[in-house]
Amino acid sequence: MPWDVFEEFAEDYDRWFEEHRTVYHAELARIRRLLPRPDGRAVEVGVGSGRFAAPLGIALGIEPSLALGRMARRRGIEVIRGRAESIPIRDGSCSSALMVTVICFLDDPVPAFHEVHRILAPRGTLVLGFLERDGEVARKYLHERDKHRFLSRARFYSIDEILESLRRAGFCVAEIESGAGFSVIAAERS
């Protein structure tokens, strides 16, 4: 997936959260309900500009974009440059992992789920937030100028496709919360 759009338009990406505070805070609240209380071993994979990690208390992030990584650092996140398909973290060293709107920018989410499974400690939790294919949110933002430049490069999945991918990677789904086309899934490493 080409990351140049995140380098070139990082400020636009980050500004969306200010311009759509209600939607952002609703997503943040739903994630907070399913995310175990972060400790020093929690990580956000695809931390972006730190808009989720910072308020949730996740101190470590993985991010391929230099521009977005700089923003996350300004929000107090330690950022390691890396990709979800090859996470530069030791096996079994993380208590929980968060991924928000990351899978739609991956060619295939299964290798990323295998990597998250690898870095999680036994019974560690992955919380995944994503835009559902044909969901209200994806349809709306595909036509919004600032969001379109990002989402036009995205691939959306159904909940069933994601559940199957998580199972294939060795996760046991614990909870699903879905609404308006944005789903949050909590899955435990088995």
- The model's pTM is 0.92
Its domain, for residue 33, covers 4-189
Domain count, the chain: 1
Instruction: Please report the pLDDT score of residue 126 as a whole number.
Output: 98
Percent residues over pLDDT 90 in the chain: 75
Instruction: Please report the pLDDT score of residue 112 as a whole number.
Output: 98
- pLDDT score of 136 more than 60: yes
Give the CATH number, domain containing residue 56. Answer: 3.40.50.150
Spatial CB neighbours of 4, under 8 Å, sequence gap ≥ 6: none
Q: Could you report how far apart the first and last alpha carbons of the chain are, in Å?
A: 29
* β pairing state of 78-81 and 42-45: unpaired
- For residues 61-79, give the mean pLDDT: 97
Q: Which CA distances in Å does 76 have to 3, 24, 37, 51, 56? A: 23, 19, 18, 11, 12
Higher pLDDT, 86 or 153: 86
**pLDDT tens digits, one per residue of 19-62:** 989 989 999 999 999 999 999 999 999 999 999 999 999 999 99
Lowest mean pLDDT among 13-17, 92-96, 153-157: 153-157
| 3-state DSSP assignment of residue 169 | coil
Instruction: Please report the pLDDT score of residue 62 as a whole number.
Output: 98
- Mean pLDDT (the chain) is 91
Would you state the structure tokens that stand for residue 180, as one six-digit string?
């308006």
Amino acid at 77: I
**pLDDT tens digits, one per residue of 94-114:** 999 999 999 988 989 999 999
- Where helices occur in the chain by DSSP H, the ranges are 4-8, 10-19, 21-34, 53-56, 66-74, 109-119, 136-141, 145-151, 159-168
Q: How confident is the model at residue 150 (pLDDT cuts 50, 70, 90)?
A: low
| DSSP letters spanning 106-129 | SS-HHHHHHHHHHHEEEEEEEEEE
Nearest to 60 by CA among 75, 73, 46, 79: 79
- For residues 89-97, give the mean pLDDT: 98
Lowest mean pLDDT among 17-26, 29-38, 74-83, 142-151: 142-151
Instruction: Please report the pLDDT score of residue 141 as a whole number.
Output: 55
